[in-house]
Structure 1
């Protein structure tokens, strides 16, 4: 069983039902992103207009496409245009801008997720002019063995992710490329990687990388000479991705990847964590790499880290200040959580935003992203 099938096995099976030519029809619902099966489904084809499709989606009605695949893409593009945020001339606080941004993202995802396509046995879309999506969808859903239905928007996302995976993402700190699995956070933001690559490093015997994702930080620690690194993640996809990263970079003797929530057994001289940096609800499984409801992971990591740290050991907490800039967490809140965990700050290394979204002036949160700073907090027992 492949890793996508293992992940899917943890979720209850869902089905969708519709009527076609007066006959009832049913199929298995697939979503690698945790979306629930739509309750109302109607078959549509090339004759539907973009306006009609938008009206149906706005009413919560899903559309199962039966026409030409490329025409379905055009309808999806038209829906995307209709869900773009309109220019807002009102004076708004940063917190209000963030709320409106998330509100629009949620609305947009709901609308775009309601245009569906059939995914048949062998991971084939049986529509005219449909591309070969076998490899991309196996990575996301596993091997399809029964009639299924998926969101076209999600399918296109799996294709994009597969292209990234095939091409690889260059990581300057490793002088190599990472090939992430679908569903893991892609290391396209170099700030946090570069901070770990340049932070003062003594000679730790063992390091832990908590919430490893693609394994990029564990790999950086290993290439900096840490003889043993234990990387953990709670998500099976991330564990599979990290293990492949380690193997590709020929670091398997130094780095062990474990499927576990937060800490492995034992203690380490250095414990590193780059948790999701926004304390808000994740609207999808993919959002979980960015959104940490109630700061669960951040607080859990800090509360438990001393129990796994060697005497005189060091903790590296890598965190963006985005949440502070949009009013979801203050700097004092963060420092109080650190202090309550029995830790004190040794130093804080900072990196300004250089990721592409910081340069996108069309983004309603452009000013926030442009001013964003990622910090590596060096902590020890107080």
Structure 2
């Protein structure tokens, strides 16, 4: 419960944040009369601002804070432009800068009542987006305070969920291009080149009756394999949100009867002829909910998949590991590490399908990690028991 004073009167509300943003120790009210420089100074000094002015002006203030952070970041970049890119130091510095930016931009707070209604002037009705993202508030008629940055993220997620992402590899459904609808907190397959690998890799005969999708997320890999003719899919995940999202997408595509969804860590019991895993690609600690789809601390999921794969494969079966080599270019992991983990797990490489990224950052020379992104290759490793 966040507690603060306004004009000598006590206020309190539930603190709602799913990022690394800690509940602020100091809070004060702010409105349209506060200059951006003063807001920036207060937030940098550790004081969060509960917004009492016009909602659109709160968004403008956040943009103004972002411009100040950008100027500061450009100054540092110019100072180090003559130096060669030094990975992994440049990567850790990049994450540090991102974390600082998130902390400052999360310093503007928006208050809601117990029904996710915001009383600010010109505040849109985003109750449905908040309900979808965060559910109902704990009760007792108490409202909530949310960082504006996270609120806009929830609203953006709500819009993407409604629109969906077209997945060409899935073909069409009901006469229209097939789409995947990501829920809040579940990574969207907007970067879909890895799905082209799943669509073209030769399916093992042992995997046509049943395949497992480890860490299913949106369920897109399960849907794609079912479309390719696999008779039954078992999709696992530790996240209830991911399982609900996968269930929704499989139902939308008319594939729900061919899939079983299980909340479990990595593998279900038994053996299977095709086991697919697309783990987070970078070793590191997740700093937010969506970061969990990008960062795999100590490569726990990757190593767990490799170590357990041989014990769950049927004779003649294959395990498909879908992973980028970006971590190798960032010097966070070596190719030798990956191959050694495969060897230690009693696995052999049966084949490998590669594809280059198509996303914009791979061609953005101004991106802090451009040198690594430009060299990145995504691979589908076909693994068998040695």
With the length of structure 1 as denominator, give the TM-score of the two structures: 0.94
> Does structure 1 conserve the Cα–Cα contact (< 8 Å) formed by 2:2 and 2:15?
yes
SS at match of 2:194: helix
Map 1:63-102; keep pairs closer than 5 Å: 63-84=49-70, 85-86=73-74, 87-88=77-78, 89-91=81-83, 92-102=85-95
Matched, 1:51 2:51: no
Matched, 1:159 2:133: no
Query: Structure 1 residue 363: deviation in Å?
Result: 1.4
Query: Structure 1 residue 308: deviation in Å?
Result: 1.5
Q: Distance in 2 between matches of 1:273 and 1:29?
A: 35
Query: Structure 1 residue 362: deviation in Å?
Result: 2.6
Q: Distance in 1 between matches of 2:17 and 2:248?
A: 24
Structure 1 stretches lacking a partner, 5+ long? 1-14
Which residue among 38, 47, 55 is the counterpart of 1:61?
47
Matched, 1:182 2:184: yes
Structure 1, residues 202-247: CA drift from partner, whole Å, max 9, x if none?
3321110000100000111100000011001111111110000110
Which residue is equivalent to 1:303?
A: 307
Tell me whether 356-365 or 335-344 shows the greater mean CA deviation: 356-365
Which residue is equivalent to 2:146?
A: 150
Q: Distance in 1 between matches of 2:353 and 2:295?
A: 23
Q: Distance in 2 between matches of 1:193 and 1:78?
A: 38
CA RMSD of aligned residues (A): 1.2
Which residue is equivalent to 2:250?
A: 246
Q: Distance in 2 between matches of 1:100 and 1:35?
A: 19
SS at match of 1:188: coil
SS at match of 1:123: coil
Q: Distance in 2 between matches of 1:199 and 1:112?
A: 43
Which residue is equivalent to 1:18?
A: 4
> Does structure 2 conserve the Cα–Cα contact (< 8 Å) formed by 1:40 and 1:61?
yes
Query: Structure 1 residue 134: deviation in Å?
Result: 1.3
Which residue among 206, 219, 224 is the counterpart of 2:223?
219
Q: Distance in 2 between matches of 1:111 and 1:307?
A: 47
> Does structure 1 conserve the Cα–Cα contact (< 8 Å) formed by 2:106 and 2:148?
yes
Matched, 1:112 2:105: yes
Structure 2 stretches lacking a partner, 5+ long? 172-177
> Does structure 2 conserve the Cα–Cα contact (< 8 Å) formed by 1:323 and 1:329?
yes
Which residue is equivalent to 1:127?
A: 120
Map 1:190-229; keep pairs closer than 5 Å: 190-203=192-205, 204=207, 205-229=209-233
Q: Distance in 1 between matches of 2:258 and 2:217?
A: 17
Which residue among 355, 361, 377 is the counterpart of 1:373?
377
Which residue is equivalent to 2:169?
A: 173
Which residue is equivalent to 2:174?
A: none
Which residue is equivalent to 1:8?
A: none
Q: Distance in 2 between matches of 1:263 and 1:33?
A: 28
Which stretches of structure 1, 4 residues or longer, exceed 6 Å deviation after superposition? none
Task: Give the aligned length.
Answer: 368
